[in-house]
Amino acid sequence: VKRVLLSGATGFVGRCALERLRHAEVELHAVCRKRPKNPAPDVVWHEADLLNRQDIARVVEAAGADELLHLAWYAEPGAFWTSAHNMDWVASSLLLVRAFHERGGRRVVVSGTCAEYEWSQPTCVESATPLVPATLYGVAKDALRRILEAYAKQFGLSFGWGRIFFLYGPAEDPRRFVSSVISNLLVGRRTPTTAGTQLRDFMHVDDVAGGLVALLRSEVTGAVNIASGEAVRLKQVVDAVATRIGRHDLLDIGALPLRPNDPEVLLADVARLQLEVGFRPTRTLSQGLNETVAWWETRQLGDPR
C-alpha cells in the first residue's frame, strides 16, 4: 500500500483532502503545526514547522512516503497576496520537495493558483495562457512551479501542479467572499457588495480537494486547473445565498467599488482535469451553496463545529 504525505492537513482545502485520502487505499501521513483536537485515528500525524529545515528532514524521514500532496502555505485572508511570508514558503517548499525525493519519494503534487495567469485573458488554459502574475503571491507560486518542473525533469520525479481558482464551502474563514456574505446575512447585518458582474469559476472546497487528490493519484504531469469549468457572476452567488437565507433586504449590491485590477472575467479551461485526470465535481454550485449556508446555520445555533 502506498504511503501518502499530506502537508497543510488542517487548512481549508487540507481538511477535505485528508478526508478524501482517508478513503483512498493508502497509508496516510499528515503534517501539521499542531495536531487537531480530534485527530482522525487512521492517520499518522506529524507535528512540524515546515519553515524549519530540521523539521522538514525529520518528517520526511519518518513518513517515508511515495507520494506528497503539498498544500501548506501562508493563507491569511487578504494579507497573503502581498506578504513576505510568500518568500519563506517558496524556500520551504523547495527544501521539502528535494528532501522528499531524495528519501525515495516518487510523485509530488503542489497547489498552485489562478493568480499565476495573466488576468487580462478571459479563459485560462494551462498550455496557452501567458503566466504573468500581478501579485507577490502569484509570482512566488509561479516561480516555485518553474523550479520544481526543472528539478523534476532533471531528477525523474513525477510532478503535478494543481491551479486552484475560486472556492467556498463549510468552515471557510469568514473574511473570505462567500463566507462573509453568509455570515453577515445570518446575523442580520447589512451586506454591501460590488456590482458583482464579474464572471468567476467557483468550486466547492471538497471538490477542489477531490481534484487535487485525483491529480495526485494519476500520472498526469504539469499544471492542471482545479476548477468547475462553469461561469457564474458574483451577484448570482450573492443572490443564491440571500434567497436561501431569505434576507434579500440586507443586500446592497453595487455599494462597493470594484477593486482596481479586478478582472471582469476569470475562468478556467478544465479539459485537463476532466479528460486527462478524469475528475468532475460532485456538486452543483446551488447544492454547494445550500450545504455551506446549512453549515453556518448549524454553527450559529451553537452546535459544535
Q: Which residue has the cell 477531490?
A: 210
Candidates 37-45, 59-67, 132-140, 263-271; binding stretch for its own copies (CB under 8 A): 132-140
Reading the block at residue 303, the C-alpha cell is 452546535
Distance from chain centroid for Cα 114: 10
Chain position carrying cell 457572476: 233
Among positions 40, 44, 91, 199, the unique one binding its own copies when judged by CB under 8 A: 91
Select 149 or 276, whichever has its Cβ closest to its own copies: 149
Contact with its own copies (CB under 8 A): which of 24, 62, 125, 143? Answer: 143
DSSP code at position 102: H
Residue partners of 23: CB distance under 8 A and separation at least 6: none
| 57 makes contact with its own copies (CB under 8 A) | no
The residue among 45 and 151 lying less far from its own copies, judged by its C-beta, is 151
Number of helices followed by number of strands (H, E) in the chain: 9, 14
Binds its own copies (CB under 8 A): choice among 79, 87, 255, 258: 87
Nearer to its own copies, 87 or 187 (CB): 87
Choices 63-71, 88-96, 240-248, 255-263; region in contact with its own copies by CB under 8 A: 88-96
- Spatial distance between the Cα atoms of 59 and 49, rounded to a whole number of angstroms: 10
Phi-psi region of 194 (alpha: psi -120 to 50; beta: other; left: phi over 0): beta
Tell me if 163 sits within 8 A of 126, measured CB to CB: yes
For its own copies, which stretch binds (CB under 8 A), given 9-17, 24-32, 96-104, 224-232?
A: 96-104
92 binds its own copies (CB under 8 A): yes
CB 273 within 8 Å of CB 109: no
Q: How far is the CB of 235 from its own copies (least distance, A)?
A: 31
φ, ψ of residue 168 to 5 degrees: the values are -160, 170
Interaction of residue 79 with its own copies, rule CB under 8 A = no
Q: How far apart are CA 19 and CA 108, in angstroms?
A: 19
| Residue that has been written with the C-alpha cell 436561501 in this structure | 244
Choosing from 42, 154, 156, 257, the residue that interacts with its own copies (CB under 8 A) is 154
Overall size of the chain counted in residues: 305
One symbol per residue from 3 to 42: x for binding its own copies (CB under 8 A), - otherwise; what is it? Answer: ----------------------------------------
Min dist. Cβ of residue 219 to its own copies (A): 22
Q: Which of 151, 180, 222, 235: binder of its own copies (CB under 8 A)?
A: 151
Angle between helices 177-186 and 234-245 (to 10 degrees): 30
Contact call for residue 142 and its own copies (CB under 8 A): yes
Query: Contact positions toward its own copies, by CB under 8 A?
Result: 52-53, 82, 84, 86-88, 90-92, 94-95, 97-98, 102, 133, 135-136, 139-140, 142-144, 146-147, 149-151, 154-155
